[in-house]
Structure 1
């Protein structure tokens, strides 16, 4: 077996058709990551759930900076309890065949680049399962700039880690012991994090509620749907305050008249300025179909 094998990564992420890192990991655009930082967990969860991605969220974590949002591209690792023959074989292979230095956790941290998040299945081990401490968290900070780590296991040096402001770390527990008696059996492979599954290149969205892993091919769709919901809400609040529409009209599917009112407002009002990269052709077409359906029902009633 090989660690961080490009052929395997491309095979696992075959639905991604965009740019990739040299190791084959999907590289979701920086602009999508920037916009992802402004959406809520529920806004990201909805498009995934509706497409059958029911196991992308896990919320049972402790969080170093619970007030901060974390967004980045996943670099995954899977570890298992130590079995001496497997442990010695894989550690030797990494050192001698792939030129890696140090222990398994250092291999992963040394591979991180800007906007990465290390996503680690440590089989919920905390005692002798502290994947990062002060030194490796500092390395994560230096390499990722705005990223962090999601660890289904432990960390140490919490007081030092908490002083690192530009990253976040989600973890299961803390312990003063160092990492020991574990073997990495996969790097940039599917990783199980509690109830969720993460693939290399997934967009990781960490919030006060927990973490959601967004497949790269759905990242931009997720952001667009979230942004459209946000700006429609802004418009709805404005019109409700003005008494133009009832809550029933705002909460229901919008007909052509209401949708056109929204588009006119969207193109002119400063409150929509940050959303003007969005387009509304599909929504206008759906509103027209709704009008046709309503006219048909009224015609049936007259008959």
Structure 2
């Protein structure tokens, strides 16, 4: 879907936008089951999973939980703002036809709305706008900007991750431009349909195209870390003999490899060992 604002743009631009949006805007579909599994992992495990695959940084800079214990997981619905400009503001579809409300109506319990602000201190919305997100039972809201009416948004109950809070009005600085396009949010590229996972450490974007592989790596790492913590609890000492390790490079005859073998984890049944990686 391309933004309704494009109906007022030159034909060549509309054609290019439509072609891209219907072809490459989405990187694939993540099943509900895989989404749930990704949400069971920590954001640091997911970052590590992408890191060992050689992908760029996946954590959205500045997106912090608005309230303690906020946790979100869902498929990305994207919304992009651009700096305010009078002529574009005049041409923007009015009221409920605005691209931001187009994005709102695409959201549901398994979706996270990702809003790319023009600056960290600019407001992407407040209580009246986001009442609709509560009604849609949204899975979460993520922005590299700020939100206003903080107490009311917390009371709405959906997880919110943002740079900060503000009393400023958003329309003075920026305007909604496009729903469901590829955006840059907090220095990270987000495609519609990507998995968005947020916890107390921040928000991570898992590209839909590699989500299954990322889960396999990240889950394997978390299993190993639990085993190491259990061992160090029983036998206190520096963790240096087990760390650092990199997924796909654990040597079977190393102290870590030998410890894992006592738990039945070997190169034959794990992708964490040297030569056994599947990515």
User: The TM-score by the shorter chain falls in which range?
Assistant: 0.7 to 0.9
Structure 1 gaps, min length 5: 17-25, 267-278, 288-303
Unaligned runs of 5+ in 2: 5-16, 244-249
Q: Does 1:9 align with 2:21?
A: yes
In structure 1, what is the equivalent of residue 188 of structure 2?
Answer: 196
| TM-score normalized with structure 1 length | 0.69
What is the aligned counterpart of 2:269 among 280, 288, 293? 280
1:72-109 deviation per Cα after TM superposition (whole angstroms, max 9, x unaligned): 11111221122233333342xxx6xxxx8254432221
Query: 1:115: which partner in 2?
Result: 110
**Aligned match of 1:137:** 130
Decide which structure has the larger Cα Rg and report it. 1
Structure 1 window deviating more from structure 2 (108-117 vs 171-180): it is 171-180
Which string of whole-angstrom CA distances, capped at 9 and with x for unpartnered residues, describes residues 186-218 of structure 1?
A: 222221223222121111122222222111112
Q: How many residues are aligned here? A: 252
* Correspondence 1:34-183 to 2 at 5 A: 34-91=36-93, 101-124=96-119, 126=121, 129-145=122-138, 147-175=139-167, 177=169, 179-180=171-172, 182-183=174-175
The answer to whether the Cα contact below 8 Å between 1:154 and 1:173 also exists between their aligned partners in 2 is: yes
Q: Which residue of 2 aligns with 1:227?
A: 219
- TM score, norm. by length of structure 2: 0.74
CA-CA distance at 1:133 after TM superposition: 1.3
Alpha-carbon distance in 1 for matches of 2:67, 2:168: 20
Displacement over 6 Å in runs of 4+:
246-249
Structure with the larger helix share: 1
Q: What per-residue deviation string (whole Å, max 9, x for no partner) do you get for residues 107-137 of structure 1?
A: 22122122211111220164xx432212332
Q: Does 1:215 align with 2:216?
A: no
Structure 2 CA distance for partners of 1:85 and 1:47, relative to 1, 3 Å: same
The root-mean-square deviation of aligned C-alpha atoms, in Å, is 3.4
Q: Which residue pairs with 1:253 in the alignment?
A: 251
**2:214 counterpart SS class:** helix
SS at 1:114 equivalent: coil
Q: Is the 8 A contact 1:116 1:144 kept in 2?
A: no
